[in-house]
Structure 1
Amino acid sequence: MQRYFISKNQFVENKVHIEDEDAFHLIKVMRAKIEDQFIVSDGETRDVLVEIEEITKSKVIASIIKDLDRINEPNINVWIAQSLPKGDKMDAIIQKSTEIGAIQFIPFISERTIVQYDEKKKNKRMERWNKIAKEAAEQAHRNRVPQIKGISTWPELLKVISDADTSFVFYENEDHIYLKDIISRKKTDHESIPTFLMIIGPEGGFTEKEILELEEAGCQSVSLGKRILRTETAAMVGLTCLLYEYGEMGGV
């Protein structure tokens, strides 16, 4: 069933007002009709099943049938800190990792980042990423849309490490400690929902100096296996492994 994320002010008494791109999608793409049903979420506290009662050229008004249980979020919070990759790879990382279950993205600049960051294009870039995250969350039937932070400098990234319960950096030269080794020791550490920060380097990887700085800030260097993964692959593989180990994909 189709799902849309809307703002709280679009909930009006026992109805919801679908506007802008969401209304266009319902009317023109989905060919919605009176009495069609779909799901609406405010992305924070409420998911509801609604039924269309009015369609105009630019708006769809639907009545709320019932509130739904919010059960589609992982039992852990995973933040992905990603050094900006080339081309549209960040788009793919946000899309696929949102589908898998990431809750926050932190793009950052590191020493070997190839992308030339243009401050003038910042707003358009953030707008595109947020749109990708929203659409991916809708497709995956998430209960919330992941947050995408502004692009961080290296010193800003180092400060974020202490905000998470556990932080990993995936490092191709690490051959003794694997992600599973760390997770198995962390499962019993938290009574509440734990927050994990996964840090992924750019196409050229991290420098030894950067790895040392990350470790000094409290980040654990781990391996994802013997094969070298592309930067866009590492985020998805690491996230999937982490959620599997916490029982989100059949793990134990």
Structure 2
Amino acid sequence: MQRYFLTNDQMSATLVEITGDDASHIAKVMRMEAGSTVICVNENERVVKVTLTDISQGKVTGHIIEEMEEALVEMPVKVSIAQGLPKGDKLEQIVQKTTELGASSILPFTAKRSIVKWDQKKVSKKIERLQKIAKEAAEQSHRSIVPEVVPPLTVTQLTQSIGTYDLCIVCDEEEAKHGQKSNLKQAFERLNQEMKVLVIIGPEGGLTREETAIFQNEGAISCSIGPRIVRTETASSYVLAALSYQLEI
């Protein structure tokens, strides 16, 4: 059944109002009609089954017919992915896949080896697009929340945030080259439910040794993510999949 995320204002005790792209998706892509049913989720993670009553240009209304109790789908820990800005459309892929795999937020940052530099005039539009990708991925994967995608941080801003997390992991290819394989597993074994985890991943070319040292000085743990060197767009998916295996399976 199709799922749509709504603001709290779009959902009352008995009714929902769907607008914008979601309304267009219902009318033009899914070609639904009055009587069709969908699932809607608001910002408070209230999940309801809705029968659509009116489908018009840019607006869809529906009547709530059931409050739904869903199986727990969110990670038992809150994972933020700090991703060094990659080239091309790789960040879109990263946002999509990390959302599907359970990330709670995505924090792009400008690393020394980031080739891409965002035009400040276009940041809001880029973030809007990435947030839309996160929303669509959350709907597809039946998440209870939509991860937040924030505007790009500097290394200094990212470093200053490390202390707000219970655990910070830096994906460090140098650890893999030196044969260190146990740090990630040991870090995961320290986790308890509701902890906040930050995973820092460099862009193409990885993090500089200076950047890694800066993060380590704030308490971050450098970890290999296996004996093979993976692409920047693969690393976050690897970590989230490994964390899911550790905590959920």
Same fold (TM over 0.5): yes
Instruction: Give percent identity, aligned residues only.
Output: 41
Equivalence map 1:25-174=2 (5 Å)? 25-70=25-70, 71-174=72-175
Q: Distance in 2 between matches of 1:160 and 1:225?
A: 26
Q: CA deviation at 1:178?
A: 3.2
Q: Distance in 2 between matches of 1:17 and 1:205?
A: 45
Q: Distance in 2 between matches of 1:107 and 1:114?
A: 13
Q: CA deviation at 1:239?
A: 1.1
> Contact 1:178 / 1:225 at 8 angstroms: preserved in 2?
no
Q: CA deviation at 1:67?
A: 1.3
| Structure 2 unaligned spans of 5+ | none
Q: Distance in 1 between matches of 2:7 and 2:226?
A: 42
**For each residue in 1:19-42, what CA deviation from the matched residue of structure 2 results, as whole angstroms up to 9, or x when unmatched?**
111111001111111211110011
AA paired with 1:37?
A: T
**For each residue in 1:39-84, what CA deviation from the matched residue of structure 2 results, as whole angstroms up to 9, or x when unmatched?**
0011333111100112222221110011112522111111000000
TM-score, normalisation: structure 1:
0.93
Q: CA deviation at 1:117?
A: 2.1
> Contact 1:74 / 1:243 at 8 angstroms: preserved in 2?
yes
**For each residue in 1:187-224, what CA deviation from the matched residue of structure 2 results, as whole angstroms up to 9, or x when unmatched?**
3xx4x511111000010111111111111011000001
> Contact 1:6 / 1:43 at 8 angstroms: preserved in 2?
yes
> Contact 1:171 / 1:221 at 8 angstroms: preserved in 2?
yes
Aligned length, in residue pairs: 244
AA paired with 2:144?
A: N
| Structure 1 unaligned spans of 5+ | none
> Contact 2:8 / 2:44 at 8 angstroms: preserved in 1?
no
**For each residue in 1:98-143, what CA deviation from the matched residue of structure 2 results, as whole angstroms up to 9, or x when unmatched?**
0110001110011111102210110111111000000000000101
TM-score, normalisation: structure 2:
0.95
> Contact 1:44 / 1:143 at 8 angstroms: preserved in 2?
no
Larger mean Cα displacement after TM superposition, 49-58 or 132-141: 49-58
- Which residue of 2 is the match for residue 178 of structure 1? 183
- Which residue of 1 is the match for residue 229 of structure 2? 228
- Which residue of 1 is the match for residue 246 of structure 2? 245
